[in-house]
Structure formats: structure tokens, C-alpha cells
Chain A
């Protein structure tokens, strides 16, 4: 079980959180003209990197904030966590 540092609450065990996928995905603007391919890329296609991955987690059984986690998908090492409007330090 991972230990994740919520930027609002501090370190908590993984079972308080739910995973929210790739944090680098940007939703297309509302009303934006967008090709089916680009839309499909946004909806379905995700990289599956081995190594550093920037991802979203939701502190569901806590402060209910979404935030960003920089995690190594192979070793589970967590390099940094930050609020949505912040950038990772490492």
C-alpha cells in the first residue's frame, strides 16, 4: 500500500485515495472544433510509461481535493505531489 502525501492533509495511506489517470491530459476547450482523431486521443488514448508518470489522485476519504502526483510506475517511488495549480519541485 502506497503512502501518498496529500498537499492539503499530509501523508496518508493509499486506501484513502482514488486514482485519476494521467495529469498531463488537457481537455479540449468547450465549443472547440476538433477532429475525431484528436478527440479520441483525449478520450481514450493514454501513454503507459515505465518510469516517471505525472498523475491525478483524489483524496476521496479525506479533503476531497484532486491533486497531482509524480510517481515511478515501476518502483512506485513518489517524487513529489502538488496542488492542481502548482508544479512539481522534482
Chain B
């Protein structure tokens, strides 16, 4: 079977000189350049492509483009594998591999088809009813069952190897869809000087002009489309995008478009992304998205071979492919007759079944003139054929059209159906447009717009070419006039098309006598007429409820072919007109979008910058193990030989206590604060007093939020009368800056102060330990490093080798310690210099783990304690709170709950066995044998191995902490199933008097 369903003409857009090989379910086929996977399969006589969602019924192609609800396939293998791809949207490319999904073991013989036999067990609301009770069945029985039964394709398990890009675009006018109205509006807007983007989902511009027999000016529709496109192409203010679907319309005229950049290219360059996501902020959006043909519900209307009439026509005219050779055309309107005529041109005589009593439309007459008889007042009652349709039962309708008066069986290999046309209003609806019901076309059209969006042409319910072109030229000109002053309108050319008679309001056929076959409304979600009837019978009245109960119009399909038929049927049963029934909400995306495209380049490190200190290379060369601290990479520890983390950390911390250590603290937030009101500002920001801080001195400060919770802490120093240097924690640096800007700009704009982040400008090096003074004295011989010369919390400027350095005597480790700050560029130089001089003092670098150990032992609080739930009292910082002045958050501290004496406060914990490390996050309880629920006294915030005492030590925040010191409690970690007896001690475990830092 090789392309036996190709036509012999060459009117389409495929290139029969270029063969393309592909595989479907393991069989090798060929198609031609310009084919889609769908057209190539149909040309090879393959209609069975998959199994339906719920009943595993054999399904084929219904449509030819985005409207296709059935033909979803799994593409490619391995890491390129992609599920739920619509075969009508896949351009054929050499070596393409596709397979059916939702079937096992094969699409021809599928075990799941038993669901079809058991379909009385799978009606609407089945899941809701069956899986509710008993509750205990949920995890073990129901959920696994649903997981097995649900879903279609398989998500790939390997990382996506392809590249996706994001692009931001701005334009005056975005035109979505390149049919006659879209082309007209783009041309008019562009000629009037506006910046225009024209987006077309398909690989070819032109929309219905590619298939309709019309003339515009002195050209055929197809010629006019290509002429208009070449005009637009030559204009510098126009961007043309094909293979590009605008799938979402968000606030403030932000639309999102997915462009298939290289899916259709056999061997794309590695620099070409697979797909590109465009965020387009448009001044105005013209929605010229056309319309989608409606199916008709009749018995077994889902068999492979039953297609939309317009799809059959497009397969013939664009892809030179016949959906069948024994066609039945089944319609309630005139447009399907153009499909009949196309078959006739290919020497195939279709059987025509028309629900109407008669029609005098031009196309109907033309068909009759060719000697084809039409079965008016008839409908299809049922179909036969297991994996492909082989016959139809055609019935004569009675006068009420509620039942058949006679039935006959007719052989066929396809049915091309048409229930009229539904404007594609998805984008307008997403934009917030309140749709209105148009009685003439029995469909919703955009009405009251909320955003700068205008629907034209068929999307606006204007179904004639004349109207479409006129609207296009007018709207394109009008809207572009908002952006240009050229005032240059383009006239609409004359056009010619056949006249059409009105459709019949009939979208659901009666059942055949004595049978109850399923009549599908929503093919993708397997929703039949009987499901809608059931939902209404069970009391679901709101169309939104019917939608959820039956799943009609949900998921990837978004009701493209099913929405209106569902509404019509509800309105029929409820005896309400459709506008009273209303419509459900259309949601983005209009078509399924690859997750990879949404993610874009934000894979791996999520496209975040990695911040490295200027000393980073040294850390790398010296075997540092790094840890992420926000965006920063910080050395965690520096293992020597075969050391594990614990021994390395203990060695590093112990060396600080015994000799001297060096730590890269460049990541600390630094904010430069200048201005005559700077002291007053700090006085308001911090809980302690700042007005009298002498120049050349640093002070530890704590800042609160207005709710009284500790926000951040750090050391701030006064460099001159009106100039301060603030440091913040690494984690809160950005938030503190925003906080300061808020108070300066919003709350106290009268304060004359400027703040600026200088985190990147300074490199900071902590030198800590009893030998630190001797080391720095040797390094800076000009500086008096004595306790009098540079006392605790003092600072001094100096330089070596012409490099300016600022030396602070501050300590986080609790030891005698200094922090040397130099301009970032000299950070590495200074670090190496200190290491060099430090050799004779047994200097060792230490990382963040040892840094933590040292501060935990000392009872210094950090992020784990300042977790947004602690006030100064809770974490032992009450002495930092001035009673004399007001500051941010002070009023909160006198609230009742904040003054209770038994609040959870900071303590130290030591395990009784002096061996077992207490996991951070453990709960503290009093009675280990109590029955749950056991009252929780608090939790463990930080844990370390104390290098001073050589046993584990933790900081905890527990109820009435101070009065618990000396008591034995339990630290329990249900996650790790452990319970550790602990003794409560002071959180200042090492050097509680703080004598070392002042030595």
C-alpha cells in the first residue's frame, strides 16, 4: 500500500518529487515534502491512529489542523520522545517515528477496548461516584487504578536534549491568523505605517484562501494570498511568523506564541532552537482566527474514516490526498458541497445526505447539475466497521426530525460531515471578552471587549469573503491609526464567491430504531450524548457543572469541535435557548504546548547567575567543597586527603579556636549609607542606639519588622560623620536594601539619606583565632593592633603594596577576630597575602560549616533562629532593645503575647550520652512515654559538634527556656524515628562572658 490515496493532480502544496520516509507503529511509509503526518498516513490508507481516552475505541482523523481531537500520537524515541502530539500538526520529516498511544498491546488489538463493552460502567461522573467510598480504599486501590486507566501518551523519562528559547516582542498590531481577514488587516495596518506581527499556525499563509474557490480582484484567492504575503514580506515594519500559534491571551495585551522553529527540519543546526516561545506585548490584537467546522452527533460517529468535510477538502486541495474513495457527504448546510465538488473533480461520485428539506445554494445546484442526486431530509443513523468505517445506515427523517421513518445500509469508506461553522473565539474569550450568541450562525461571537482586542472575519461570525475582507481592511486601518499619523487607508478589492443558503439547526441525529449506539459530542474526552443527558438528569444544571461532570470540552481540546454541540444539546433538553445556557470559559493554552518551550533556557541552574567571590579560584585550587548560599557559591569545607566532612569541619573549627583561621565572607550584604540624616535613620531602623556611635567604630545592630519579629542583624560602622557602612546577612541582603528604600522613599521621605548596595564592591576576609592579632600585626606593621590601638568593634584604614584595606575588629566566631575588607579586585591578592604570612601561625581556611560550628557554640543567632517567628526576647537579644527611643517594630513588642514570660526562648542542648547528634528540626518534649498528642515545647534550630567540648551541641527555642536550664528533656525526630535524652544548658556554651573577643 503505497500512497494509493493520492490524487493525480498537483494543485496542492506538496512536492511529489521529494519523498520522505517515516515510521508509524513500526511500519515504514513514505510521504512527500509538504505533508503532515496525518496527510501522509491517510495517503497510505491508514486511518486508525489511536484509541480513545475512556473507552479505548478505535479512532482516526477527524480534522486537518489544530481542531483534531483524536489523532494524538507519541513522537520519536528515548530522550526526544513526546506524547499527545496532534498528527495533523506534525510536518513530515525524514526518519520521523510516530506511534499510537493509549493502546496495548497494539492499536489494532487493544485490551482496554473492554472498557467499551463495559461502557455502562463508565458513564459521566463515574469517577466521582465510584471512588468516593470507602476512604481507606483511596491510596491502595482507587488511585493505582485511575493512574493505570488515565492518561494518554507516556511522558519521557530522560532529560529533554533540545533547546528552547524565549523571545520578547513588541508591536503596534498583532494579527493572529492569515486567512482573508487577517491578511487584509495586516496589509492595511502595515501600509498605514504600524509595526505589525502576523502569526499563522500552519506552514503556509492563507487560511481558507488555500482551499476555497474564490476570486479577489483579478486573482484567485490563493494567488491573492501569496501576492499579499510578498507585499508584507517586503515591508520593514512587518514580522511574518508561520508555524506559530498564539495560544494564550493574558493581561495588558500580553499574548504568548509558540513557534515551531526546527521540528520540520531534518538536521537542524545545533544553534537552532527546536521551538521558540514569544511573549508579544501588542498595542492592539486582531483576532482573525477563522472558524472550525462542527461535527454532527450520530450513532458511532467516531469510527476511523469519519472526518469533517472541510478537512476532507483540505486533504484533497493542499495535500493531494483522498480520505476515501467511496465517500458519503453528510451535512446540514451548503459548505460541505464544495467538498463534494472536489471529489467529483477527482472522478469520485459522493453520496450526499442533507438533513434539510432542500437548498438552492449555488454549490448545491452545481452538484445537482453534475448529475448527483442528493438525499435531502435524511441523516446518518449509525455506522459499521470495526477498525475503519465500511458502511453507514442512512435514515429518512420524519417531519419533526426526531426519528427516522426508514433506514438503508450504504457501503462507504468515509463520511465527510459538516454541522456548520463555529467562530474560533478562544483568544477573545481568554482576553476577557463577554461573548454574545449570534442566532444567524448559531454560535457565540466576541462582543464586549475588556482588552485591546478586535475579532474580525469568521472569528467574528462574518462568514462571507466580502465581509471578511471589508472588516479586515477597515479594522487594520482604524487600529493602526492609533499608532501612526499617516492616515493612509487601503481599499478592499472586489471579491467573488458562491452564495450559501442557511444551515439547519440540527446537530444530533435520532437513534436508529431498536439500538442505542453512542453518539459522540466530544471525541477527545469520550463524551457522548447519553453522558450529557445523564448529567442533566442527575441535576447538574450550570453548564460549568455539566462540563466538569462529563469532562466535555476540557483539557487540550478546549472544546474546539465539541463546545457548541454540547451547548446545543443541553439547551435542547433544558428547553432553553443557548444564550441562557451560557458557555464555559476558554482557557489557555489554545493548543498543547511542550513543557520544554515554557521552561525555555531556564534549565539546569534555571538560568540564574552564579555568584562567585573574587577568591573563588583559590578555593577551587585548594580542594574546597562548595555549597550554594542563594546565588553564591561558598566553600563549605576544605577536606585534606581522605577526610570526610565531619573531620574536616572539626579540624577547621578547632584550628580557629587554637590558632587562626581564614574565611571568605565576601558574600555578606553591604550597604553604603550617606547623608546628614543617616544616624537618625539607623536609629529608627535598628533596635539599639546609633546617634552617638563615634566615627571609626562599628556596632552590632538588630532590625525588626513592624510586627516585632527580628528581620536581620549585622555590624554597621561609622566611616565619617554622615557616612556608614552597613553589613547584612548573606540571605537577607536584597530584602534589607528594599526595606531601607521603602522607609526612605515611602515612610520618611523627609530624611536626607541615600542607600546603595556595595556588596559587589568589597571583598571581605575574616581572620579569626587567638593568633589573628599577631598575624595581622606582621602583615600591617604600620597599624597598632594592640587592644588599645584597635579595640573590639574598632576599625582602621591601612594599605599594603598600595592596596587600601579596611580592618574591622569584629567577630562572628567568638574568638579574637578581624575582618579585612579590600576592593573586590584585590580580594584574591589579599587572601593570598594573609595565607602567606599566616603559614607561621598555622593558619587554615575554614568554610561555612566550621563558621556555623563556631557561631553555634557561642550561641550567636543566625537565620535558623531568626526565622520570622522570633522577637528579640526569644533569641536572647533583649539587651539590644533600646527603651529610650522608638524604632521600626517597637510598638509590637509591648503587645500582650510578646510580653509573656514563658515565651519560647533560646537555650542550648547537650545529649546526655555526649555522643548522639541532635537532628535540626527535632521537637523538644518533656515526657518521652506520654501518649500522643504530646505537648511540644519547641524545636531544635541549629546543631553542631562542639570542638571546644568534643560533644554534640544544639541551639533550641523552647517554651520558658530560661527556667528549663539544668533540666533533662527529650529531642525527638519522628521522621528519623529517634528520641534523644538531652540536658538544657545556656545557649552561650563557649566563653559565655565574651572575654575572648575582647582579649
A residues at B contact (CB < 8 Å): 1-3, 13, 18, 20, 27-28, 30-31, 34, 36, 39, 42-44, 56, 58, 60, 64-66, 75-76, 78, 84-85
Q: Which residue of A lies closest to B737 (CB)?
A: A64
Chain A residues whose C-beta falls within 8 Å of the C-beta of B747 in the assembled complex: 27
Assess the A3–B252 pair: CB atoms within 8 A.
Answer: yes
Q: How far is the CB of B498 from chain A (nearest CB, A)?
A: 43
Please pick, from B253, B450, B707, B895, the residue contacting A36 in the complex, using a CB distance under 8 A: B895
* Given A31-B886, A36-B895, A75-B432, A20 and B742 contact (CB-CB distance below 8 Å): yes
Q: How far is the CB of B907 from chain A (nearest CB, A)?
A: 29
Please pick, from A1, A27, A34, the residue contacting B251 in the complex, using a CB distance under 8 A: A1
| B832 CB within 8 Å of chain A | no
Q: How far is the CB of B530 from chain A (nearest CB, A)?
A: 39
CB-defined A-B contacts under 8 Å, sample of 30: A1-B250, A1-B251, A1-B279, A3-B252, A3-B253, A3-B254, A20-B746, A27-B706, A28-B891, A30-B684, A30-B886, A30-B887, A31-B885, A34-B891, A39-B891, A39-B892, A39-B895, A42-B706, A43-B892, A44-B707, A58-B738, A58-B741, A58-B742, A60-B738, A65-B741, A66-B742, A66-B746, A75-B432, A76-B252, A78-B252
A42 to B888, CA, bound (A): 12
Chain A residues whose C-beta falls within 8 Å of the C-beta of B254 in the assembled complex: 1, 3, 13
What class of interface size applies to chain B in its complex with A? 20 to 34
A20 to B891, CA, bound (A): 22
Chain A residues whose C-beta falls within 8 Å of the C-beta of B741 in the assembled complex: 58, 64-66
Q: How far is the CB of B280 from chain A (nearest CB, A)?
A: 11
Chain B residues whose C-beta falls within 8 Å of the C-beta of A3 in the assembled complex: 252-254, 281
Chain A residues whose C-beta falls within 8 Å of the C-beta of B896 in the assembled complex: 36
- Counting from the closest, the 7 A-B pairs by CB-CB distance are A3-B252, A30-B886, A66-B745, A31-B886, A76-B251, A39-B891, A1-B254
Assess the A84–B895 pair: CB atoms within 8 A.
Answer: no
Q: How far is the CB of A15 from chain B (nearest CB, A)?
A: 10
Q: How far is the CB of B939 from chain A (nearest CB, A)?
A: 25
Q: Which residue of B lies closest to A76 (CB)?
A: B251
Chain A residues whose C-beta falls within 8 Å of the C-beta of B749 in the assembled complex: 84-85
A41 to B886, CA, bound (A): 19
Q: How far is the CB of A66 from chain B (nearest CB, A)?
A: 4
Chain A residues whose C-beta falls within 8 Å of the C-beta of B251 in the assembled complex: 1-2, 76
1/0 per residue B277-317: CB within 8 Å of A?
Answer: 00101000000000000000000000000000000000000
B residues at A contact (CB < 8 Å): 168, 250-254, 279, 281, 432, 450, 684, 706-707, 738, 741-742, 745-747, 749, 885-887, 891-892, 895-896
A60 to B707, CA, bound (A): 23
A73 to B115, CA, bound (A): 47
Chain B residues whose C-beta falls within 8 Å of the C-beta of A2 in the assembled complex: 251-252
Most B-side CB within 10 Å, residue of A1, A31, A60, A75:
A1
Q: How far is the CB of A70 from chain B (nearest CB, A)?
A: 15
A66 to B749, CA, bound (A): 11
What DSSP secondary structure best describes chain A's contact surface? loop
Assess the B746–A84 pair: CB atoms within 8 A.
Answer: yes
Q: Which residue of B lies closest to A83 (CB)?
A: B745
Q: How far is the CB of A24 from chain B (nearest CB, A)?
A: 12
Q: How far is the CB of B734 from chain A (nearest CB, A)?
A: 8
A12 to B955, CA, bound (A): 46
A18 to B738, CA, bound (A): 10
A56 to B742, CA, bound (A): 10
Q: How far is the CB of B451 from chain A (nearest CB, A)?
A: 9
Q: How far is the CB of B307 from chain A (nearest CB, A)?
A: 39
Q: How far is the CB of A45 from chain B (nearest CB, A)?
A: 12
A60 to B275, CA, bound (A): 31
Q: How far is the CB of A51 from chain B (nearest CB, A)?
A: 14
A30 to B887, CA, bound (A): 7
Chain B residues whose C-beta falls within 8 Å of the C-beta of A30 in the assembled complex: 684, 886-887
Please pick, from A13, A31, A44, the residue contacting B281 in the complex, using a CB distance under 8 A: A13
A43 to B891, CA, bound (A): 10
Q: How far is the CB of B453 from chain A (nearest CB, A)?
A: 14
Chain B residues whose C-beta falls within 8 Å of the C-beta of A65 in the assembled complex: 741, 745
A1 to B251, CA, bound (A): 6
List 15 other contacts, CB 8 Å, given A27-B706, A39-B892, A43-B707: A1-B250, A1-B252, A18-B738, A30-B684, A34-B891, A39-B895, A42-B706, A43-B892, A44-B707, A56-B746, A58-B741, A66-B745, A66-B746, A84-B749, A85-B749
Q: How far is the CB of B54 from chain A (nearest CB, A)?
A: 36
Chain B residues whose C-beta falls within 8 Å of the C-beta of A85 in the assembled complex: 749
Q: How far is the CB of B898 from chain A (nearest CB, A)?
A: 11
A59 to B962, CA, bound (A): 45
Chain B residues whose C-beta falls within 8 Å of the C-beta of A84 in the assembled complex: 745-746, 749
A42 to B742, CA, bound (A): 16
A78 to B891, CA, bound (A): 35
A65 to B742, CA, bound (A): 9
Q: How far is the CB of A8 from chain B (nearest CB, A)?
A: 11
Chain B residues whose C-beta falls within 8 Å of the C-beta of A43 in the assembled complex: 706-707, 892
A56 to B741, CA, bound (A): 13
Chain B residues whose C-beta falls within 8 Å of the C-beta of A39 in the assembled complex: 891-892, 895
A58 to B742, CA, bound (A): 8
Q: Which residue of B lies closest to A56 (CB)?
A: B746
A36 to B302, CA, bound (A): 69
Chain A residues whose C-beta falls within 8 Å of the C-beta of B279 in the assembled complex: 1
Chain A residues whose C-beta falls within 8 Å of the C-beta of B738 in the assembled complex: 18, 58, 60
Q: How far is the CB of A77 from chain B (nearest CB, A)?
A: 8
A75 to B885, CA, bound (A): 44
Q: Which residue of A lies closest to B896 (CB)?
A: A36
Q: How far is the CB of A89 from chain B (nearest CB, A)?
A: 19
A37 to B250, CA, bound (A): 41
Q: How far is the CB of B548 from chain A (nearest CB, A)?
A: 24
A42 to B707, CA, bound (A): 10
Most B-side CB within 10 Å, residue of A30, A42, A60:
A30
A78 to B887, CA, bound (A): 35
Chain B residues whose C-beta falls within 8 Å of the C-beta of A20 in the assembled complex: 742, 746
Chain A residues whose C-beta falls within 8 Å of the C-beta of B742 in the assembled complex: 20, 58, 66
Q: Which residue of B lies closest to A29 (CB)?
A: B886
Chain B residues whose C-beta falls within 8 Å of the C-beta of A44 in the assembled complex: 707
Q: Which residue of A lies closest to B890 (CB)?
A: A30
Chain B residues whose C-beta falls within 8 Å of the C-beta of A27 in the assembled complex: 706, 747
Q: How far is the CB of B434 from chain A (nearest CB, A)?
A: 12
Chain B residues whose C-beta falls within 8 Å of the C-beta of A58 in the assembled complex: 738, 741-742
Q: Which residue of A lies closest to B742 (CB)?
A: A66
Q: How far is the CB of B535 from chain A (nearest CB, A)?
A: 30
Assess the A75–B450 pair: CB atoms within 8 A.
Answer: yes
Q: How far is the CB of B836 from chain A (nearest CB, A)?
A: 40
Q: Which residue of B lies closest to A26 (CB)?
A: B747
Chain B residues whose C-beta falls within 8 Å of the C-beta of A28 in the assembled complex: 891
Q: Which residue of B lies closest to A18 (CB)?
A: B738
A3 to B444, CA, bound (A): 30
Chain B residues whose C-beta falls within 8 Å of the C-beta of A75 in the assembled complex: 432, 450
Q: Which residue of A lies closest to B745 (CB)?
A: A66
A34 to B792, CA, bound (A): 39
A59 to B379, CA, bound (A): 64
Q: Which residue of B lies closest to A13 (CB)?
A: B281
Q: Which residue of A lies closest to B747 (CB)?
A: A27
A58 to B707, CA, bound (A): 21
Chain A residues whose C-beta falls within 8 Å of the C-beta of B432 in the assembled complex: 75
A78 to B252, CA, bound (A): 9
Q: Which residue of A lies closest to B680 (CB)?
A: A30
Q: Which residue of A lies closest to B734 (CB)?
A: A60
Chain B residues whose C-beta falls within 8 Å of the C-beta of A64 in the assembled complex: 741
A21 to B252, CA, bound (A): 20
Chain A residues whose C-beta falls within 8 Å of the C-beta of B252 in the assembled complex: 1-3, 76, 78
Q: Which residue of A lies closest to B256 (CB)?
A: A1
Chain A residues whose C-beta falls within 8 Å of the C-beta of B891 in the assembled complex: 28, 34, 39
Q: How far is the CB of A56 from chain B (nearest CB, A)?
A: 7
Q: How far is the CB of B839 from chain A (nearest CB, A)?
A: 44
A64 to B741, CA, bound (A): 8
A45 to B257, CA, bound (A): 41
Q: How far is the CB of B433 from chain A (nearest CB, A)?
A: 12
